[in-house]
Amino acid sequence: MKARTIVSVAVSACVALVACACGPEKSKVDAEAKSSQPSATSRAEDPSATPSVSAGSKKPSAEPADGRSMPRTKEGAIQRYEQFLHAVGREDLDTVCEVAGPAAKKAQDEGLGPCTSTFVVTFQMISPAQKKALQTATVDPQRVAVRTPAKVEVPTEAVRASASFSEDELGSGTLEYLKDNWYITD
């Protein structure tokens, strides 16, 4: 299962909430309230913003890259994926949507909603212990598959954390080197 699983699960939850009379206006307000909760790097942002590869103009939070591009290497892809995992653990919506922008855009084009809405729901589906574990999670380089110099796959089994994650909970990630950085594309 791919990283899009996270987005799919989140969107399914959104649909269920809307079906339970939460309506799109309330969901939008809830998403905005969630995305503006205080954190070291959060900024209030319009939840209807469309993530894309060009979202790289936003400065991601200071993870190992400190906002800089990662090198076009397996190690660079691993650092970028770890940046994503740590951001999920911190509920850092800006960084999550920046790194997963291309995959989130595909999901949105398939009718699943924007990243800023779907990941708010995803954050709610991850237990506090799992979130804490993701904040320091690492990736085992031996388990990362290099498909091409610009494409790598990170299976769920490669993620090393103090909590366990199933394929359904975390999913595998495909990263591609686009516009001078690694992005989750599937």
pLDDT tens column, 138-179: 999 999 999 999 999 999 999 999 999 888 888 899 999 999
Strand partners, 146: 152
* pTM, rounded to two decimals: 0.67
Q: Compute the distance between CA of residue 103 and CA of residue 176 in angstroms, rounded to an integer.
A: 10
Domain residues of the chain, as ranges?
A: 4-37+51-184
Q: Where does residue 91 fall: left (phi above 0), alpha (psi -120 to 50 degrees), or beta otherwise?
A: left
| pLDDT at site 173 | 94
Mean pLDDT of the chain: 73
| pLDDT at site 40 | 38
